[in-house]
Amino acid sequence: MAEIRAEIAANVWQVRAEVGMAVAEGDEICILESMKMEIPVVTEVPGIVRELFVEPDQVIQEGDLIAIIDES
């Protein structure tokens, strides 16, 4: 299991992934917005999205858990 965590404090602008969705390395999980900049959050491992912990318009802090990817 791989954890995707926020690298900065930001607002969740869009969530691109869904639970159960297959993702490849480099796929966007969500897009964050901070100071009028869009910041894509991508997965570094291929797998299946097992859990999502964010939704649009949510405010997240650095280090918050965004998603869990099952690599098996």
Q: Which residues of the chain have pLDDT under 70?
A: none
Question: At a CB cut-off of 8 Å and minimum separation 6, what does 35 contact?
Answer: none
| Amino acid identity, position 9 | A
Amino acid 72: pLDDT:
74
- Could you please state the CATH topology (level 3) that the domain comprising 2-70 is classified under: OB fold (Dihydrolipoamide Acetyltransferase, E2P) (2.40.50)
Domain limits, the chain: 2-70
φ/ψ (deg, to 5) at 19: -60, 135
